[in-house]
Each structure stands twice: as structure tokens, then as C-alpha cells.
Amino acid sequence: MAALSCNFNPINHESCVKAKTTRLSTSCSMQPSQNNIKVVINGAAKEIGRAAVVAVTKARGMEVAGAVDSYLVGEDVGKVCDMEEALQIPIINDLTMVLGSISQSKDTAVVVDFTDPSTVYDNVKQATAFGMRSVVYVPRIKPDTVAALSGFCEKASMGCLVAPTLSIGSILLQQAAISASFHYNNVEIVESRANARDLPSQDAIQIANNLSNIGQIYNRDDILTDVLARGQVLGEDGVRLHSLVLPGLPASTTVYFSAPGEVYSVKHDITDVRCLMPGLILAIRKVVRLKKPKSSSTSTMRDLASGISLMDCV
């Protein structure tokens, strides 16, 4: 169990009850544990942020040192997360204030960013300026933003991990799909999400990228068809995607492969944001060892699913 820090984020990421934005200048006074990784959760009032607070608090060798959000400002983040005891860490709406307070301790610190594609670049710049590494998990982040982050962090010699997924199950699905792609010439991806804005999902894009450029052309019989019902083609090698938007369904991704006489499918469902927490804890441990930025596609995040026990992540 990590000790508490008192130096003062296709799943629903919406923030909970809105509170009036204020500025706070106070900080808590409890003595933090030595040698723990200090973790700042940016987007702490979101569903995924609240789950992250609980996961980091329970993880060995790390502790929540700050909580940032524009919602529930001033509320104790432990109480917001329905923890048994308050963490004595109020939610602050000023990232610079939180980073400045934590940087005075000179301890290893990581900022976990669950915010928005439009703010990620500036958030990572601020964290880097204070000597802190970043783990970024923001759906719909643009490749240009990732490239800009990579260039900035490389110049600063500061590690940054941009994760297209934190789900170990998603990584396993991607690995299985890559293996199957060498044996089947027909492949279709079917996914469901609660909101159309999340489509195509990062998972689907990553799977299509993984299956492309390996010397295989898929769905040759109708690769050039313009029938809309056949779905969207992702990449240049004929991988087709079909997306469902049905509130109530879990965030789901299924990859179908076929050959004459057989169909092979792999499926992954996410029913609770807590499934992302083992991957998040591992990403935090990994980024503190990075000196250069990592845009963690499957080749990087594969470590989530191979050679690592889940017990190492708690």
C-alpha cells in the first residue's frame, strides 16, 4: 500500500457534478513517504481519473500527490472517489500551482493526463518544465500532437508515454490479430461505443495499422467497392471497419478473420474503467525509466501483456 501524499485522471470519461471554478493557495501538511513516485492526476474528477486515484493509492511505491480538474474544485479527492478516508488532497483547478508545490520536494514525479487533445501539449510542456514525466491517455489525440510532444520531450531529454490504450485485454487482442493476419486473407473489424465522437476508436485504428504493411492484402474480392454498407476502409490494405453506436452496450472490439470453410474471431469488451488501471500503473513505472519520449503503439505497450504479472501492477 502506498502512503498518502499531502503535498496538497469504445468507456465514459465525462466529469461528474460541476462546481464553480476557484483558486486555492493552501496545501496539506502531512509528511509524504520517501522514495515513492509522486503522481499527479490531471482530470481527477472524471470517471477514469477517480479510478486512477484509487489505483495509485493502493499501488506499491507510489502515491497521489496532486489532483487537477475544473470540476469539484476544493473537494477532497479521496472523498470524491468514495474512499474510506480522505486523502487530504483537494482538487485544484491550477496545474501550475500543483506542479510547483510538488517540484520543491525533488522527488520523482509523474503527471497522468486524462484531459483533452487540445490541452495535452501545453500540459506536458508544463510538467517537463518542472522536471516531471508524463503519461498521456487521451482519446482522439491527433498524430500531429503526438509528433510535437515527441520533438519537445526529446529536446528536453524527458520521458513521456502517450498510450493509445491502457487495456491489457486490448493488447492481447492486437497480438492475436497480428498472428492471425498471416493465415487469413479476409478481415473485418466490428466495434461498439456509446458515443459516435469516439469513432473510429483508437483500438480499431491501431489494429488496422498493425495489420497493414505486412505484405498482406485483405478482402480482395471487393476491395474497391464503394457500397457504404461495406464499412470504412482503414489503411491501404483493405481492412474494413463497422461501427455501432448503441448506448448500453459495452465498449467492444471484435476482429473477424475468415478463409473458405472457417471463421476465426477475437473479441474484447470493456465493462468498467477499472480494467485500465493495471496498465496505467505499469505505464507510470515504465515512464520514470524513460529518458526519451515514447509514443506507445503496440510495440511499446506490448509490455503490458507479456512477461509481466498483474501482481507487479498493484
Assess if residue 177 is contained within a domain: yes
The pLDDT of 198-225, averaged and rounded, is 86
How does pLDDT run across 219-233, given as a tens digit for each residue? Answer: 888 888 888 888 898
Q: Does residue 125 sit in the same domain as residue 221?
A: no
The pLDDT of 201-217, averaged and rounded, is 87
Assess if residue 23 is contained within a domain: no
What pTM was computed for the model? 0.78
Q: Does residue 43 sit in the same domain as residue 139?
A: yes
Assess if residue 32 is contained within a domain: no
How does pLDDT run across 101-133, given as a tens digit for each residue? Answer: 999 888 899 999 999 999 999 999 999 999 999
- How much is the mean pLDDT over the chain? 83
Amino acid at 266: V
Q: Does residue 82 sit in the same domain as residue 199?
A: no
Assess if residue 92 is contained within a domain: yes
Task: Give how many domains the chain has, as a whole number.
Answer: 2
Q: Does residue 172 sit in the same domain as residue 114?
A: no
Assess if residue 3 is contained within a domain: no
Domain with residue 232: its CATH number is 3.30.360.10
Q: Does residue 51 sit in the same domain as residue 200?
A: no
Q: Does residue 58 sit in the same domain as residue 127?
A: yes
The pLDDT of 5-11, averaged and rounded, is 40
Give CA 69 to chain center in angstroms. Answer: 17
Domain with residue 140: its CATH number is 3.40.50.720
Query: 270 is written with which cell numbers?
Result: 470493456
Domain of residue 181: give its range: 168-271
How does pLDDT run across 133-188, given as a tens digit for each residue? Answer: 999 999 888 889 999 998 898 888 888 999 888 999 999 999 999 999 999 999 99
Q: Does residue 56 sit in the same domain as residue 73?
A: yes
Q: Does residue 280 sit in the same domain as residue 227?
A: no
Q: Does residue 82 sit in the same domain as residue 197?
A: no
How far is the C-alpha of 312 from the C-alpha of 73, rounded, in Å? 33
Assess if residue 245 is contained within a domain: yes
Q: Does residue 150 sit in the same domain as residue 47?
A: yes
Is pLDDT of 27 > 90? no
